[in-house]
Amino acid sequence: MKLLLLTLISFSILVAEINIGDTLPTLNLENQFENKVKIRSDATLIVSFQKSISSEMQAFIDTKPKHYLEDNNILYISDMSAAPTFMIKLFGIPKMKKFNYKVALIYDDAVANKIQREDSKLTLIRLNDHKIIDIQFVSPNALEKALKN
CATH code assigned at 99: 3.40.30.10
Q: By residue range, what is the domain housing residue 30?
A: 2-148
Alpha carbon distances (Å) from 26 to 66, 76, 97, 110, 148: 28, 16, 24, 12, 27
Contacts of 60 (CB under 8 A, 6+ apart): 140, 143, 144
Of 45, 100, 53, 47, the C-alpha closest to 74 is 45
Three-state DSSP class for residue 148: helix
- What pLDDT shows up at residue 1? 52
Total domains, the chain: 1
pLDDT along the chain (149 residues), means of 10: 42 67 94 97 97 95 95 97 93 95 95 95 98 97 93
Phi first, then psi: give them for residue 125, nearest 5 degrees.
-120, 125
